[in-house]
Structure 1
Amino acid sequence: MEPLSLVVLAGGRGSRLGRITDSRPKPLVPIGGRPVLWHILRAYEAAGVSRTVIAGGYRVEQVRQAFSGDGTVEVVDTGQHTGTAGRLLRLADRLPDTFCLTYADGLSDVPLSDVIALHRSRRPQATITAVHPPSRFGALALSGSAVTSFEEKTTLQSVWVNGGFMVLDKSVLGLVAGDATSLEQEVLPKLAAGGQLAAYRHEGFWHPMDTTTDVERLNRLWHGGAPWRTW
């Protein structure tokens, strides 16, 4: 069995984080005093990943400098405006037949070894992790005109989204037309239509880091026990 490799899509501007990313790339935004990407890489190391390629773009030199002391991590400039699937195409000569793939902005306690095992047993071209997204609003329980309970943050239990933490076969590159191709809008829908997309259902913790509110909440959670910490 070949050693596990990971590709991290980390080239975007992270514009929804506002001024936080004016001077640093999104993967280096600190959670608990460490870059968010550091947390992600630790989880994959615990799952047996021995080599990581970071597909950088925006402020790629800062990412390269941040991980310069880690001999298992390679940072590649895949362009600031390249699509998510286009970044994979630019890394074609570095990709093994099967590899893990994730984003640089989501934290979860998903059992990565189980996601990898599902892909190896089902043998689709791609496997994603399906998660329940957090609601941006509080939830009310009502009885007539009375509020009987209030929960500040909930998850949308009836909804599944792609939480990242994927496993792909290199053959998916056959669906990538060029730099502008989107993994989410073009490649994954084609795989699903062809019966080549599997999903690992994760009911546990998952939280994106899309906004300043997300950054603040993840930092609070770190000090409260870091529910994504699996290493």
Structure 2
Amino acid sequence: GYKGDQIRDFFLTYGDQGRDVTVNLASGGSPQWYGDPQTEDWEVTLVETGTGARIKRVAAYLDQPYFLQTYGDGIGNVDIGALYTQHVASGLVSTVTGVHPTSRFGEMHVSGERVTEFNEKPTMADGWVSGGFFAHKREMVDRYLDDDPDLLLEKKPMQTLASDGELGVFTHEGFWMGMDTFRDWTELNGLWDSGDAAWKVWA
């Protein structure tokens, strides 16, 4: 997928990312590393899927009764553990995280020719949209997906899950924002640089 090589390189070099290193550019010798590599209790499988039917193409690696799925363009402080727990307890095939979107425009309350209230990019309290964090039963892959390279999860699979009564929602009232434009990128990086990154839930 898009920038898949960078994601692959991140995990291939993960252990050394927090270490100091000396590189001799004159000799071209091997780098000298300092300290111990960082380790995590993770197992990560990287699969080149292209742009369509991604979940179907990694089906061979899904060997547990449940699996989690997300996109790479949504950031939030979603409680993934609570999402998973609710999903398992529900008995449904799939659960999607519902979030309140943030308006891209300033909102005004108007009385006659006067503005009585002005909110810059308010969170829209009415209605829910998909936050892009999912939990699924393994059977979802075989029942609702196919090998069509143009298959979009948000179209027929999600619509059919909903019409079958097999799609639950995990409502998230906390921080969530999509990063779809350069403006989003700038805003999110500004939050990170200012120390106000609500999605940083790790130490």
Q: Mark yes or no: TM-score above 0.5.
A: yes
Q: How does 1:1-231 map to 2 (within 5 A)?
A: 57-70=1-14, 72-79=43-50, 82-83=51-52, 86-95=53-62, 96-174=64-142, 175-178=144-147, 179-222=149-192, 223-231=194-202
- Please give the secondary structure, in 2, of the residue aligned with 1:73: coil
Q: Secondary structure at the match of 1:76?
A: coil
AA in 1 matched with 2:198: P
Hey, what does 1:39 align to over in structure 2?
A: none
What percentage of residue pairs aligned between the two structures are identical?
39
If each structure's helix is expressed as a fraction of its own residues, which one has the higher value?
Answer: 1
Letter aligned with residue 183 of structure 1 = L
C-alpha displacement of 1:59: 3.6
Distance in 2 (alpha carbons) for counterparts of 1:160 and 1:59: 29
Q: Can you list the C-alpha shifts for 1:113-149, whole angstroms capped at 9, x where unaligned?
A: 1111100110111011000111111011223211123
Amino acid at match of 2:188: L
| 1:219 CA displacement | 1.2
Structure 1 residues 204, 59: CA separation in 2 closer, same or farther (over 3 Å shift)? Answer: closer
Distance 2:103 2:112 in 1: 24
Partner of 2:12, secondary structure, is coil
- Letter of the structure 1 residue corresponding to residue 108 of structure 2: L
Larger Rg: 2
Which structure 2 residue ranges, 5 or more long, are not aligned? 15-41
CA distance in 1, matches of 2:185, 2:12: 25
For residues 88-110 of structure 1, the C-alpha deviation after alignment (integer angstroms, 9 at most, x for no partner) is 11101101221111011111112
CA RMSD of aligned residues (A): 1.5
Deviating 4+ runs (over 6 angstroms): none
TM (norm. structure 1) is 0.70
**Superposition deviation, residue 224 in structure 1:** 4.0
The residue type equivalent to 2:162 in the other structure is A
Distance 2:198 2:6 in 1: 28
Residues in 1 aligned to 2:126 and 2:5: alpha-carbon distance in whole angstroms = 41
Rounded to whole Å, the distance in 1 between the matches of 2:115 and 2:195 is: 28
> Number of paired residues?
171
